[in-house]
Homo-oligomer: A and B are copies of this chain.
Amino acid sequence: MDNRGGFDLRRVLLFRGLNGCDLTALLAKARQEAAVRGSTFFNECDDALHCRLLVAGRIKLVQTSTDGNQVVTRFVAPGEMFGWAQVLGASVYPGSAEAMVDSVALTWDAASMRSALAAHPVLALNALELLGARLREAQDRLREVATERVERRVARALLRLARQSARPTGEGVEIGFPVTRQDLAETTGATLHTVSRILAAWEHSGILAGSRQRIVLLHPGRLETLAEDGG
């Protein structure tokens, strides 16, 4: 089996259950694409001609509203697909994909991914499951933003980030890629000012430590309390 880009593609959830042959054939159709930190794989409203699998790095998907406000719809970790728009019936990307660190993706054109989905039911079912999970996550976040205080939303966001990309350190769990207060604000629907204040308070009370773009959760348990019962 192939092992392109130093990444084990059998681990990719979308490909689970696909036999080696078919996987190799599918891979043959992909090309590799890189984006340095700060650049994008695609921008909001670009024609959605491709879909991608993140192989290395970290991406954020960002939607911008007419008045310039931005929202981070998802952080993408290696092994996850992104930019499905065309495959799923949209003609343009609903958001931009910005590399938070230097990143590498495998890129398919939407048409061949569609035919692969049609040819391999297991692939389509996997896609449905993944998409279902994403829909549930989006709805959960909707409920949070609609009903919960900023502090709690920030707590949840940090826990999600930690779950997706924990890097154990001496004194706690570090989030494994650079996250600005602005990023956190855009995932939680708050301003960077409020986020900054909240994090400062938490640093003060020993729940977390951090410096520029780095956040270490010293006390995930206490964060979970904050996230759940609003202690």
Complex CA gap A29/B211 in Å reads: 59
Contact status A138-B128, CB under 8 Å: no
Cβ contacts A122-156/B at 8 Å (1 or 0 each): 10110111111111101111111111100000000
A224 to chain B, nearest CB (A): 13
For chain A, the bracket of interface size reads: 35 or more
| A226 / chain B contacts, CB cutoff of 8 Å | none
Some 26 contacts from A to B, beta carbons below 8 A apart, are A65-B147, A66-B229, A69-B146, A73-B139, A73-B143, A84-B132, A87-B132, A88-B132, A88-B135, A90-B136, A94-B136, A94-B139, A95-B139, A117-B121, A118-B124, A118-B125, A119-B121, A124-B128, A127-B128, A128-B131, A131-B135, A134-B135, A138-B142, A142-B142, A142-B189, A146-B189
Complex CA gap A135/B63 in Å reads: 13
Complex CA gap A67/B143 in Å reads: 12
Main secondary structure, interface of A, reads helix
With beta carbons under 8 angstroms apart, the residue of B125, B188, B230 that contacts A117 is B125
Q: A159 at interface (Cβ–Cβ under 8 A)?
A: no
Complex CA gap A60/B230 in Å reads: 28
A73-B139, A131-B132, A142-B142 given; 18 more Cβ-contact pairs under 8 Å: A65-B147, A71-B147, A87-B128, A88-B128, A88-B132, A89-B129, A89-B130, A90-B136, A117-B124, A118-B122, A118-B124, A121-B121, A124-B124, A124-B125, A138-B138, A145-B189, A146-B188, A147-B189
Contact A65 to B125, CB < 8 A, known contacts A88-B133, A138-B138, A142-B138: no
Q: A228 at interface (Cβ–Cβ under 8 A)?
A: yes
Q: A35 at interface (Cβ–Cβ under 8 A)?
A: no
With beta carbons under 8 angstroms apart, the residue of B95, B122, B132, B141 that contacts A90 is B132
With beta carbons under 8 angstroms apart, the residue of B87, B89, B145, B228 that contacts A133 is B89
| A129 / chain B contacts, CB cutoff of 8 Å | 88-89
